Amino acid sequence: MDYSTVVDVFTEMEATSRRTELTELIVRLFRSTPRELVDKVVYLMLGRLRPEYEGVELGVADKMALRALAISSGLDVKRVEEMYVRRGDIGEAAEEALSRRVQGVLFRDKLTVERVYYTLERVAALKGQGSQDAKIRYICNLLNDAEPREGKYILKMVTGRLRLGVADYTILDALAIAFAGGKESRDVLERAYNLTSDLGLVARSLVDGGLDAVKAIRMELFRPIRPMLAERVASAEEALERMNGQCAAEYKLDGERLQIHKHGDRVKIFSRRLEDITSHYPDAVDAVVTGIRYRDVIVEGEAVAINQDTQEYLPFQELMHRRRKYGVEEAMREYPIALNLFDVLYVDGKVCIDLPYMERRRILEGLLVDGSSGSGGSDGGSSAGGGGRTVSIVPMIIADDAKTIEDYMFKAINEGCEGLMIKDLNSPYRAGARGYSWVKLKREYRSELADTLDLVVVGAFHGRGRRVGRYGALLLASYSRDDDTFYTVCKVGTGFTDEDLNRFYTMLSPYRMEHRHARVNSRLEADVWFEPRIVVEVIASEITLSPLHTCALNSIRKDNGLALRFPKFTRVRDDKSAEDATTVDEIVSMYKRQLKVTRQVHVGGE
Ligand code: AMP
């Protein structure tokens, strides 16, 4: 398959801001792709070579990519660097440099998708000393034969900057239309994707064996499952209503979610975003190897920073010190953790996800080497691992009245938790789904918003005064699952330290775009736009109607959306992906609840 076919479609994809058109383009591309390349084309479209959880990185720094570009174009490195600075985009610099190639354009071999993919695979595989020169040679090998517009995508890809802004769900739609007779088959594909987190695998199975092959896909050890997510409720009563009168109430710990896969003493840990974070948690690895009595398990839990002397839970921020490549051992001693398991997905050949909650909880409670029952409430879960509480089962009670839940929530908060997770006793583990089988109950809503929101950075405004040269304010958006779009809800300019401002600049630059992203809906014109990737947490005093923002536009009042009043930045949520942000629906219910509370306060005051 000619690489130029892929490049032509990518170019059109970048130019469109309509989701239906994006889907049609991908369908067209899939239909012109030979079977054995469909998975490769899926990965290339996502700017990767393999599913994200495998952590295959091309590892090419800008400098190295520019050197390759200089060699292939015959231009001076300085000149190529100057093009990069002027264009602000390495892909465009490549296009310009290659179109001014010094040597003639005769005798070039046409690039194929196969050649590009396998060459990039070699680039990714090169590690250690001397690998840089070899990487450059491989990249030059491609660039020498590349048309300028092909070179653009090759350089974007090797530097990790190829972002076409396609959501996973759009790719599933396109696969269903191209190979499975229409969108009706999408659920089957989505299920397989949720169990494997690998769109390439789903695509390949579909073209090789049809829908039956996709239906036969099972979860497997060391391949992460897309996590089950929770909705939010306002009160214990509402939680109970959602659960038909009886539920499990678990402590909601404020740490990092870990999905742990274990086979004997081989362990892998995946984050909520399915990155391999095993290296951050050698202590969690030890704890499950020594603390879990079965050979093969997949469990989920929350790692929380603790005070070693008092065994008290510490805030989420403390845990962030554990996110590092170097000095892990030292960080482990300085910031010890407790691991609290809250679900089990697989044990010794038995798939548990389709079992009801209570059944899974029973299995979970039997997992630990010296574990006893974790339910009943009084002192929480069982524990194992080196005598301390390194690995435990999260404390839980069964409740059927609001008072019991509220008392338990009070206890949880007093012990340093965020609140409670309320779970439906009969629900299976719904991989990749957010729903009311799990709901989170955080502190009560007052007329002032006590709760935080997680919002996506979609744009920014240049700073003034002390903030010149950095971003002065960020444009934040909520997420709508219905149409896979981000709707703006506030501009935030307070709560940042100087260090935060510098950090934002570097963190956001890779996602910078020339124009508004196709999945962003905004009435405001930002100075700079970003691909929706970075999630930040904010607090605010209340939610108000606003003609400036598009969140829930027209749904409460014509020509008005909802906005946050006095938003303040609190922290970056790099454990969340853009699609995990607070949703438009959640903001609408928060707004309605706030109205109710305000009314009560007024009535009470009169
Ligand atoms: P949130 O991040 O506010 O959407 O809340 C969901 C997150 O709470 C999950 O992804 C877990 O990381 C965390 N969590 C803490 N305790 C529990 C628990 N007992 N059950 C499930 N998730 C929990």
Counting from 1 in the atom list of ligand 1, the atom nearest the Cα of 255 is: 12
Q: Which residue, judged by its Cα, is nearest atom 9 of ligand 1?
A: 257
- DSSP code for 240: H
Counting from 1 in the atom list of ligand 1, the atom nearest the Cα of 254 is: 15
Cα 599 to middle of ligand 1, angstroms: 31
- DSSP code for 386: T
Query: Which of 400, 417, 442 lies at the terminal end of a domain, its last residue?
Result: 442
Token duo for residue 448? 């002032």
Cα 257 to middle of ligand 1, angstroms: 7
Instruction: Report how far Cα 29 is from the mean position of its chain's Cα atoms.
Output: 26
Cα 535 to middle of ligand 1, angstroms: 16
Rounded to whole angstroms, how far apart are CA atoms 596 and 291?
48
Q: Based on the domain organization, do 346 and 477 belong to the same domain?
A: no
Counting from 1 in the atom list of ligand 1, the atom nearest the Cα of 580 is: 4
Q: Based on the domain organization, do 344 and 248 belong to the same domain?
A: yes
Rounded to whole angstroms, how far apart are CA atoms 300 and 28?
39
Contacts of 27 (CB under 8 A, 6+ apart): 174, 177, 178
- DSSP code for 327: -
Structure-derived torsion over alpha carbons of residues 545, 549, 552, 554, reported in degrees to the nearest 10: 70
Q: Based on the domain organization, do 245 and 387 belong to the same domain?
A: yes
The residue whose two tokens read 């554990």 is: 322
Q: Based on the domain organization, do 596 and 461 belong to the same domain?
A: yes
Pair 168, 193: CB distance under 8 Å: yes
Residue 89 in contact with ligand 1 by CB distance below 6 A: no
Query: Which of 391, 421, 442 lies at the terminal end of a domain, its last residue?
Result: 442
Cα 230 to middle of ligand 1, angstroms: 8
Distance in angstroms between the alpha carbons of the first and the last residue of the chain: 75
Q: Based on the domain organization, do 383 and 464 belong to the same domain?
A: no
- Residue 529, exposed/middle/buried by CB under 10 A (0-12, 13-18, 19+)? buried
The secondary element (H helix, E strand) that includes residue 329 is helix 328-334
Cα 576 to middle of ligand 1, angstroms: 12
Q: Based on the domain organization, do 403 and 527 belong to the same domain?
A: no
Residue 56 in any domain: the answer is: no
Q: Based on the domain organization, do 419 and 463 belong to the same domain?
A: no
Residue 492 in any domain: the answer is: yes
Cα 253 to middle of ligand 1, angstroms: 7
Between vectors from CA 538 to CA 588 and to CA 468, what angle results, nearest 5°?
125
- DSSP code for 311: -
Q: Based on the domain organization, do 421 and 490 belong to the same domain?
A: no
Rounded to whole angstroms, how far apart are CA atoms 590 and 551?
13
Residues of the chain with pLDDT under 70: 103-107, 310, 371-389, 443-450, 596-606
pLDDT of residue 605: 38
Cα 537 to middle of ligand 1, angstroms: 15
Other residues' Cβ atoms within 10 Å of the Cβ of residue 414: 8
Pair 298, 346: CB distance under 8 Å: yes
Cα 454 to middle of ligand 1, angstroms: 14
Q: Based on the domain organization, do 233 and 364 belong to the same domain?
A: yes
Residue 107 in any domain: the answer is: no
Structural domains in the chain (count): 2
User: Which of 225, 257, 409, 574 for a ligand 1 pocket mutation test, highest count of atoms within 8 Å of Cβ?
Assistant: 257
- DSSP code for 395: P
pLDDT of residue 322: 87
Residue 272 in contact with ligand 1 by CB distance below 6 A: yes
Residue 250 in contact with ligand 1 by CB distance below 6 A: yes
Sign of CA dihedral 172, 176, 179, 180: positive
Residue 280 in contact with ligand 1 by CB distance below 6 A: no
Residue 394 in contact with ligand 1 by CB distance below 6 A: yes
DSSP assignments along 429-483, one per residue: --TT-EEEEEEEE-SPP-SS--S-EEEEEEEEEE--GGGTTSEEEEEEEEEETTT
Residue 252 in contact with ligand 1 by CB distance below 6 A: yes
Residue 232 in contact with ligand 1 by CB distance below 6 A: no
Counting from 1 in the atom list of ligand 1, the atom nearest the Cα of 250 is: 19
Give 343's strand partners.
Answer: 300
Structure-derived torsion over alpha carbons of residues 157, 159, 163, 168, reported in degrees to the nearest 10: 70
Residue 274 in contact with ligand 1 by CB distance below 6 A: no
Active site residue 325: no
pLDDT for 250-294, tens place per residue? 999 989 999 999 999 999 999 999 999 999 999 999 999 999 999
Counting from 1 in the atom list of ligand 1, the atom nearest the Cα of 438 is: 21
Residue 287 in any domain: the answer is: yes
pLDDT of residue 102: 72
- What CATH number does the domain containing 539 carry? 2.40.50.140
Residue 230 in contact with ligand 1 by CB distance below 6 A: yes
Rounded to whole angstroms, how far apart are CA atoms 182 and 348?
37
pLDDT of residue 137: 96
Within 165-301, residue ranges assigned H as helices are: 168-179, 186-196, 199-215, 236-242, 282-291
Residue 339 in contact with ligand 1 by CB distance below 6 A: no
Between vectors from CA 257 to CA 434 and to CA 587, what angle results, nearest 5°?
40
Residue 87 in any domain: the answer is: no
Rounded to whole angstroms, how far apart are CA atoms 602 and 593?
14
Q: Which residue, judged by its Cα, is nearest atom 8 of ligand 1?
A: 252
Rounded to whole angstroms, how far apart are CA atoms 365 and 375?
9
Counting from 1 in the atom list of ligand 1, the atom nearest the Cα of 440 is: 5
Set 252, 268, 423, 576: catalytic member: 252
Contacts of 140 (CB under 8 A, 6+ apart): 68, 71, 72
Strand pairing class (485-492; 520-521): parallel
Pair 445, 539: CB distance under 8 Å: no
Give 396's strand partners.
Answer: 250, 375
The residue whose two tokens read 């109950």 is: 441
Q: Based on the domain organization, do 383 and 288 belong to the same domain?
A: yes
Cα 565 to middle of ligand 1, angstroms: 27
User: Which of 408, 440, 535, 580 for a ligand 1 pocket mutation test, highest count of atoms within 8 Å of Cβ?
Assistant: 440
Rounded to whole angstroms, how far apart are CA atoms 306 and 416?
10
Q: Which domain holds residue 256?
A: 229-442
Token duo for residue 335? 């910031």
Residue 79 in any domain: the answer is: no
Pair 43, 53: CB distance under 8 Å: no
Largest CA distance in the chain: 87
Residue 176 in any domain: the answer is: no
Q: What are phi and psi of 343, to 5 degrees?
A: -155, 155
Between vectors from CA 331 to CA 327 and to CA 335, what angle results, nearest 5°?
175
Residue 257 in contact with ligand 1 by CB distance below 6 A: yes
Rounded to whole angstroms, how far apart are CA atoms 120 and 142?
9
Rounded to whole angstroms, how far apart are CA atoms 193 and 211?
13
Residue 253 in contact with ligand 1 by CB distance below 6 A: yes
pLDDT of residue 592: 85
User: Which of 250, 252, 582 for a ligand 1 pocket mutation test, highest count of atoms within 8 Å of Cβ?
Assistant: 252
Give 537's strand partners.
Answer: 454, 571
pLDDT for 8-35, tens place per residue? 999 999 988 788 999 999 999 999 999 9
Q: Based on the domain organization, do 521 and 459 belong to the same domain?
A: yes
Cα 496 to middle of ligand 1, angstroms: 26
Query: Which of 385, 411, 442 lies at the terminal end of a domain, its last residue?
Result: 442
- What CATH number does the domain containing 382 carry? 3.30.470.30
Residue 342 in contact with ligand 1 by CB distance below 6 A: yes
Q: Based on the domain organization, do 263 and 406 belong to the same domain?
A: yes
Rounded to whole angstroms, how far apart are CA atoms 22 and 28?
10
Residue 488 in any domain: the answer is: yes
Pair 324, 280: CB distance under 8 Å: yes
Counting from 1 in the atom list of ligand 1, the atom nearest the Cα of 251 is: 19
Residue 368 in contact with ligand 1 by CB distance below 6 A: no
Q: Is the pTM of this model over 0.95?
A: no
